[in-house]
């Protein structure tokens, strides 16, 4: 993919004197060029849609919250690319343990202020921006539709999830989906874990990766925050990173302190449980798709194990 990145730079009149891969690009190939540009490359129709949607969103919200500037967007040799201006900063989860309590408090206060601004953007319906798929005027119907899609993919790909587990997941969803009523379609980041938050000199220098942004109730933003705090090692990018749930418990507490209105949403715990079930199933299916849809090969049990965590009352929670 490095050769493709160099070809893209040449197309955009960037002389790639230095080019290095960046960690954390789980969906796209990501390269830092000349310490000035970040080249992100995706393949397939879905990657093209996400990168195009992100480019549009970043241009729309630029100046409201700190986001990278989009330098270029296009297609080359069957792949889609997006080039951003490089923003300096350290990923929040890398430095969190070394920050003083006061510094942590200021950073989360700043973050939630930006989120309030982001969440003020609204749309007539729930769903993905810029024509990115199905939309609905009903949040419960939208989520139920997503569940059906993932269950169909499980069957079509021959993914061997035991039927008893699928019954637990679907049974919990259908018996609790009524709690999803309420809320307006607000613009949520949807991938807001600390690795997508850059900090420079004690301030947030950029919020990254808006590929998965969508219009949803604002409590949907809590999904990845809680998931990261519960399972931080799933997001570790370096071999020496070892965390446990206590490593980021104060992050979640500070988020609740500075954005209390999100936690006042009725039936929030049950709503989050449903979000976790959907996310776990989607992650399981997405992994299988990266394997070409084959049945062979190792099957990660982590996504399904975490789904069951939210089915049973005694499972791990941040609140």
pLDDT digits (tens, 9 = 90+) for 182-238: 899 999 999 999 999 999 999 999 999 999 999 999 999 999 999 999 999 888 776
Average pLDDT, the chain: 91
Confidence class for position 298, pLDDT limits 50, 70, 90: very low
Handedness of CA 89, 128, 277, 298 (dihedral sign): negative
Q: What is the pLDDT of residue 291?
A: 62
CATH topology for 90-309 is: Aminoglycoside 3'-phosphotransferase; Chain: A, domain 2 (3.90.1200)
**Domain residues of the chain, as ranges?**
2-85, 90-309
Query: What is the value of pTM for the model shown?
Result: 0.92
- CATH code of 2-85, in short, is 3.30.200.20
Does the structure show a pLDDT above 70 at 131? no
Express each pLDDT in 246-293 by its tens digit: 899 999 999 999 999 999 999 999 999 999 999 999 988 887 776 654
pLDDT per residue as tens digits for the range 92-118: 999 999 999 999 999 999 999 999 999
pLDDT at residue 22, rounded to an integer: 87
């Amino acid at each position: 993919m490095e050769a493709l990145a160099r070809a893209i730079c040449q197309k955009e009149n960037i002389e790639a004197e230095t080019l290095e891969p960046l960690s954390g690009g789980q969906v796209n190939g990501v390269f830092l060029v000349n310490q000035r540009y970040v080249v992100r490359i995706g393949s397939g129709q879905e990657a093209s849609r996400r990168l195009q949607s992100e480019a549009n969103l970043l241009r729309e919200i630029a100046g409201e919250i700190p986001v990278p500037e989009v330098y270029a967007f296009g297609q080359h040799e069957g792949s889609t690319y997006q080039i951003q201006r490089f923003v300096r900063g350290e990923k929040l989860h890398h430095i969190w343990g070394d920050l003083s309590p006061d510094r942590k408090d200021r950073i989360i206060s700043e973050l939630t202020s930006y989120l309030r601004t982001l969440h003020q953007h609204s749309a007539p319906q729930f769903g993905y921006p810029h024509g990115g798929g199905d939309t609905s005027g009903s949040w419960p119907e939208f989520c139920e539709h997503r569940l059906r899609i993932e269950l169909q993919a499980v069957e079509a790909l021959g993914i061997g999830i035991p039927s008893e587990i699928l019954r637990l997941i679907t049974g919990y969803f259908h018996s609790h989906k009524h709690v999803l009523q309420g809320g307006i379609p607000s613009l949520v980041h949807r991938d807001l874990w600390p690795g997508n938050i850059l900090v420079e000199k004690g301030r947030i220098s950029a919020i990254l990766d808006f590929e998965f942004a969508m219009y949803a109730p604002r409590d949907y933003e809590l999904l990845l925050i809680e998931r990261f705090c519960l399972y931080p090692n799933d997001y570790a990018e370096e071999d020496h990173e070892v965390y446990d749930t206590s490593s980021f418990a104060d992050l979640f507490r500070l988020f609740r302190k500075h954005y209390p209105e999100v936690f006042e949403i009725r039936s929030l715990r049950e709503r989050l449980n449903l979000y976790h079930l959907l996310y776990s199933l989607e992650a399981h299916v997405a992994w299988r798709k990266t394997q070409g849809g084959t049945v062979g090969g190792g099957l990660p049990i982590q996504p399904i194990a975490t789904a069951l965590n939210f089915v049973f009352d005694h499972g791990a929670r941040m609140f």
